[in-house]
Amino acid sequence: MKMKMAITGKGGVGKTTFSAIMSKIYAEEGYNVLAVDADPDPNLALALGFPKEIADEIVPISEMKKLVAERTNSTPGSFGKMFKINPKVDDIPERYCKEYKGVRLLTMGTVDTGGTGCFCPENVLLKKLTSHLMLQNKDIVIMDMEAGIEHLGRGTAQGVDVFIVVVEPGIRSIQTFKHVKKLAKDIGIEKIFVVANKIRNKADEEFVLENVDEKECLGFIHYSDTVGSSDRVNQSPYDSNEETVKEVKNIKQKLEMGVF
Ligand SMILES: Nc1ncnc2c1ncn2[C@@H]1O[C@H](COP(=O)(O)OP(=O)(O)OP(=O)(O)O)[C@@H](O)[C@H]1O
Ligand SMILES: [Mg+2]
């Protein structure tokens, strides 16, 4: 089985928590997992349980000035000059990812665009790399993104097998889901699902199902004090609560049934 999934949703809903647990479950099953931290404020390494010394050493691809310059044939900081728009990226995942307990992690970083669609060497490299990750023939790719999918080009988005929008029982994160769904439809993506996180009771589940079609909802993850505190003690949520991992395994099973 091969699967490329992009995880999105409103800020703070649990995208990174969910991405990390999914990555670890697939790795434990023996899959070749590439976790991609595509959030401008990267913290997937810690959620995957990377020791802090290793996590602290990670330099996002967009900040590797030499690499960006070399691949795009540009001079650092030379905005507006000519550069290569089709940089070589196929060796980057292997060379620059960090591995911990069977999960390889690639941290993308971000480009300070001051608006969308910046046409600068860093952005060109990141875009090409993202589409390479989605279109290549790898087992499991799990991309932890910032909210929205505007930053994914049409071609890249179509390499994604499934978009998962994490919501919590509240209207704001569900609004984000509806927005993402519309954007996805606009570019011809049909496979878009919801995972409802931080569920505390039946009323929370009902609230989600009043707002999200049951067929779209892959399942619920309950609020867990130990998952919450794993963030404070710098432990992977995967190691913090067996029940939560079980819930994510059920979601994974439903996802695989829905995608294939
Ligand atoms: N099921 C849960 N139970 C308790 N706490 C949770 C749960 N899921 C996530 N959290 C906590 O909520 C906070 C936000 O989670 P996380 O970082 O995964 O969200 P995010 O969507 O990736 O946030 P951001 O938008 O900042 O990237 C963290 O402190 C995390 O430990
Ligand atoms: Mg996050």
Q: Which ligand is nearest to the CA of 235?
A: 1
CA dist., res. 8 & res. 13, Å (int): 9
Residues near 118 by beta carbon (within 8 Å), at least 6 away in sequence: 111
Crossing angle (nearest 10°) for helices 15-28 and 242-259: 80
Is 13 close to ligand 1, i.e. is its CB under 6 Å away? Answer: yes
pLDDT in tens, the chain (260 residues): 889 999 999 999 999 999 999 999 999 999 999 999 998 889 999 999 999 999 999 999 999 999 999 999 987 665 666 888 899 999 999 999 999 999 999 999 876 544 455 678 888 898 889 888 888 767 899 999 987 666 666 666 778 889 999 999 999 999 999 998 988 888 778 899 999 999 999 999 999 999 999 999 999 999 999 999 999 998 999 999 999 999 999 999 999 998 76
Give the tokens for residue 134.
């989605």
- The response to whether residue 14 sits with its C-beta less than 6 Å from ligand 1 reads yes
- pLDDT, position 216: 95
User: For residue 154, what pLDDT is reported?
Assistant: 66
Cα(12) to ligand 2 centroid in Å equals: 7
pLDDT of residue 80: 61
Residue at token pair 């509240």: 170
Q: How far apart, in whole angstroms, are the C-alpha atoms of residue 114 and residue 136?
A: 30
Q: Where are the domains of the chain?
A: 3-259
Burial of 193 from C-beta contacts in 10 A (0-12 / 13-18 / 19+): buried
Look at ligand 1, atom 16, and give the residue with the nearest C-alpha: 14
Residue type, 230: S
Among the four given CATH numbers 3.40.50.300, 3.30.420.40, 3.40.50.970, 2.40.30.10, the one describing domain 3-259? 3.40.50.300
